[in-house]
Structure 1
Amino acid sequence: MSSPQLPRLGRKPLIALVERANRALQTDMVRRAHADGHTEVKMAHNSVFGTLYSGGARAADMAARAGITRQSMGEVIRDMVALDLLEMRPDPDDRRAKVVGYTEHGVEVASDGRRHLIELERRLAEEFGEREYDIARDVLERLVDVLDRFAAEEPHETQAAGTRRT
């Protein structure tokens, strides 16, 4: 029995490159948090640290920014509340909703992470050169915009994964 042949890409797929870079960055952030004494930080917490601003935010807005479901974001938030990194308070604009914010301990952890990100970005710019690093960041931002635009152009009917269009 012969196995079906997949189309050859000729190089590592872009999705694999982006996924590997994402995983390396997220792993670096958790490693650094642990080195700073914040051993409670988990990889999943990056979705909150990357989307929660100082003034607080609704979980649904954070989920949209992170590109994950509201349920997944809620699970991570509940875990971080239990670890005293986050707190939930009533939304002043809508008493039915909750606003997620950092606890005092959470501010400390997030601040250490932000300082590390600043240093990491400085080191990356030094490694690649300011111009090349700025180009890499710009291309990634544009890539997201273009992929979002392509997705919006797709027909509204959902297709099963792997189904060919005719």
Structure 2
Amino acid sequence: MSKYDDSEPQSLGVLLRLAHQHFSSAVEDALHQSGFGDLRPHHANVFSFVPPAGIQVSELTMMAGVRKQSMAQAVEELEKLGYVERRPHPSDKRARLVFLTERGRQIRPLAMNSGKRVEESWAKLLGERELDKLRSALQALLVKL
């Protein structure tokens, strides 16, 4: 049963936030149950964008669309927790690259599987076609933004 009241139309921002909270909570719960209870939602900004070859914090910031200070803090927290490590950039001695550790590489598949289960449950509630329309509309909007 939903806590959401649909008696009055809501702003798109509120609807997107509530749907995101539901999705994020399910992923966070799955990670917690798998022994990764020390992760927080803002850490997803790191795990979502670190390629195997590593990445600079400034690039992570741009890809995630967050402030540099927020990204630097998330990377620092994850480094202390053992999910990422920073290494010197091979061609720029002033720069450092962020890499996922072995522990960090375990997160993405768990989060993806949990997200897939959320999507499957949403498809059962809305229907596959409606969920596909929602996904297509959001993708089209983001491409145009």
Distance 2:119 2:92 in 1: 38
Q: CA deviation at 1:140?
A: 0.9
The partner residue of 1:46 within 40, 44, 47 is 44
| TM norm structure 1 | 0.73
Give the 3 Å change call, closer, same or farther, for CA 136–98 of structure 1 in structure 2. Answer: same
The partner residue of 1:71 within 65, 69, 72 is 69
Structure 1 residues without counterparts, runs of 5 or longer: 1-9, 149-166
- Structure 2 contact 26–114 (Cα < 8 Å) conserved: no
Name the amino acid aligned to 1:63: T
Give the 3 Å change call, closer, same or farther, for CA 128–11 of structure 1 in structure 2. Answer: closer
- Structure 2 contact 47–107 (Cα < 8 Å) conserved: no
Give the 3 Å change call, closer, same or farther, for CA 75–120 of structure 1 in structure 2. Answer: same
- Structure 1 contact 26–46 (Cα < 8 Å) conserved: no
1:14-163 alignment runs, 5 A limit? 14-146=12-144, 148=145
May I ask how many residue pairs the two structures share in their alignment? 138
Name the amino acid aligned to 2:65: G
Q: CA deviation at 1:126?
A: 4.4
Q: Which moved more, 1:117-126 or 1:15-24?
A: 117-126
Q: CA deviation at 1:74?
A: 0.5
Q: Which moved more, 1:105-114 or 1:61-70?
A: 105-114
Structure 2 residues without counterparts, runs of 5 or longer: 1-7
Q: CA RMSD in A?
A: 1.9
Deviations 1:91-132, CA, capped at 9 Å, x for gaps: 223222111111111112333222222333344344433332
Residue 5 of structure 1 aligns with which residue? Answer: none
Give the 3 Å change call, closer, same or farther, for CA 25–83 of structure 1 in structure 2. Answer: same
Name the amino acid aligned to 2:50: L
Higher RCO (CA 8 Å, separation ≥ 6 residues): 2
Identity of paired residues, percent? 26
Distance 1:18 1:33 in 2: 22
Structure 1 runs of 4+ aligned residues shifted over 4 Å read none
| TM norm structure 2 | 0.82
